[in-house]
């Protein structure tokens, strides 16, 4: 089997697992199986779901928006949070806490976190209000970092299962109770299998990157019992996947992908097989933002957007007119479905 054939087989299996060549009717099922839906921009969640044929009724409150792997925001099933948060449970595994503690001291960060919880119990939920209250005790630069729009102290509290955003579109926070009750080593084997069953074929390096596992912990992955998983080799790399009995469809001729779509954002740079090297900088910007894109026969060939409620489609090279028209029609359909 040629490398090209193996690569096509990997993409075909990934598209099947990630519901890009089949439908997933239920939003909760989609979020559970995909281990959360990336939502640095909250509209990526309904786009990602609609592209996969999912009913998005009630999407703003059905999922919990919080920080997970690699410090990114995801919409997840609330019941899944304790297990997923266990990957970064404890201050020793929380790089964000280490950064804050290094700048201001661990005790100071813990005290601020405790005070934030007390204030939330008294009805304070907005970052703006917290900044006003704490401005009486801390320097402006400290306030900017502790209550940064990128997360600040709320990332620390979210990773402990104590706070989350009020809903998928709100900027305010609510207290929750989703504290991890298992250790990293206890949840890792099951989560690793869940990753390979949906995102596979994928490498151990892909899994380590997806979950934000440290280099030291990544050394444990080859030691885990993975004999129940299927394997294939491509370019001297070993790919793991779960072989099910479901018949897989062919790679679709045209596929819309959401911003930060799992198939483009959930693998190491070297294993984003559907994103050609020459187009990576056009899809993944220097800021880290991953744009909504369009795949033709499993390969990203353009980007799309919605501006002034109108579809904007840009292919990187000339495409057949019917594909250009179909891409525009699909984006228009997303606009109408979002509007309800």
Give residue 339's pLDDT.
81
**160-186 mean pLDDT:** 95
Please report the DSSP string for 179-247 in residue order: ---S-HHHHHHHHHHHHHHHH-SB-HHHHHHHHT--HHHHTTGGGS--TTSEEEEETTEEEEE---SSP
| pLDDT value at 313 more than 90 | yes
Give residue 92's pLDDT.
67
| pLDDT value at 193 more than 60 | yes
* Mean pLDDT of all residues belonging to the chain: 92
pTM of the model: 0.92
Share of the chain above pLDDT 70, in %: 97
What are residue 293's DSSP bridge partners? 257, 303
**248-261 mean pLDDT:** 95
Cα–Cα distances (Å) from 166 to 107, 116, 172, in that order, read 28, 15, 6
Give residue 175's pLDDT.
98
| pLDDT value at 140 more than 80 | yes
Share of the chain above pLDDT 90, in %: 76
Kindly tell me the burial class for residue 268, based on how many C-beta atoms sit within 10 Å of its own C-beta (0-12, 13-18, 19 or more).
Answer: middle
Three-state SS for 43? coil
Give residue 40's pLDDT.
87
Q: Encode 199-235: b = buried (16+ Cβ within 10 Å), e = exposed.
A: bbbbbbbbbbbbbbbeeebeeebeeeebeebeebebe
Least confident range from 30-39, 113-122, 230-239: namely 230-239
Cα–Cα distance between 243 and 289 in angstroms, integer? Answer: 32
Give residue 328's pLDDT.
97
CA 155, 160, 162, 167 torsion-angle sign? positive
| pLDDT value at 3 more than 80 | no
| pLDDT value at 206 more than 70 | yes
Cα–Cα distance between 131 and 134 in angstroms, integer? Answer: 5
Q: What angle do CA 301, 306, 309 make, to 5 degrees?
A: 150
**96-109 mean pLDDT:** 84
Give residue 288's pLDDT.
87
2 — pLDDT class (breaks 50, 70, 90): low
Give residue 69's pLDDT.
87
Give residue 230's pLDDT.
93
| pLDDT value at 100 more than 70 | yes
**152-175 mean pLDDT:** 95
Q: What is the pLDDT of residues 19-68, one digit of tens each?
A: 999 999 999 999 999 999 999 889 999 999 999 999 999 999 999 999 99
Give residue 79's pLDDT.
97
Cα–Cα distance between 178 and 176 in angstroms, integer? Answer: 6
Give residue 17's pLDDT.
96
| pLDDT value at 316 more than 80 | yes
Taking alpha carbons only, the member of 148, 143, 161 closest to residue 104 is: 143
Domain ranges of the chain: 95-158, 254-339
Give residue 269's pLDDT.
84
């Amino acid at each position: 089997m040629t490398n090209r054939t193996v690569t096509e087989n990997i993409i075909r299996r990934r598209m099947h697992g990630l519901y890009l060549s089949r439908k997933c009717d239920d939003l909760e099922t989609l979020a559970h199986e995909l281990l959360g839906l990336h939502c640095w921009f909250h509209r990526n969640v309904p786009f990602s779901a609609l592209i996969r044929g999912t009913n998005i009724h009630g999407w703003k409150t059905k999922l919990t928006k919080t920080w997970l792997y690699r410090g990114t925001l995801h919409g997840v099933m609330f019941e899944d949070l304790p297990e997923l948060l266990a990957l970064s449970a404890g201050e020793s595994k929380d790089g964000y806490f280490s950064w804050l503690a290094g700048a201001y001291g661990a005790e100071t960060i813990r005290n601020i976190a405790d005070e934030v919880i007390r204030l939330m119990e008294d009805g304070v939920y907005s970052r703006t209000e917290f900044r006003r209250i704490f401005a009486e005790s801390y320097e402006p630069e400290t306030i900017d970092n502790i209550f940064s729009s990128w997360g600040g102290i709320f990332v620390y509290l979210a990773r402990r299962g104590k706070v989350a955003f009020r809903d998928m579109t709100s900027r305010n926070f609510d207290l929750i109770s989703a504290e991890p009750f298992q250790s990293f080593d206890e949840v890792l084997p099951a989560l690793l299998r869940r990753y390979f069953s949906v995102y596979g074929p994928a490498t151990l390096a892909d899994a380590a990157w997806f979950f934000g596992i440290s280099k030291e912990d990544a050394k444990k992955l080859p030691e885990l019992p993975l004999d129940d998983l299927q394997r294939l080799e491509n370019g001297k790399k070993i790919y793991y996947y779960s072989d099910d009995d479901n018949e897989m469809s062919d790679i679709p001729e045209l596929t819309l992908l959401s911003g930060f779509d799992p198939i483009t954002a959930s693998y190491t740079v070297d294993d984003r097989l559907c994103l050609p090297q020459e187009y990576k900088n056009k899809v993944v910007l220097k800021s880290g933002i991953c744009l909504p894109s369009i795949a033709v026969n499993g390969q990203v060939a353009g980007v799309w957007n919605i501006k002034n409620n109108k579809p904007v489609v840009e292919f990187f090279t000339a495409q057949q007119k019917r594909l250009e028209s179909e891409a525009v029609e699909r984006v228009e359909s997303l606009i109408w479905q979002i509007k309800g």
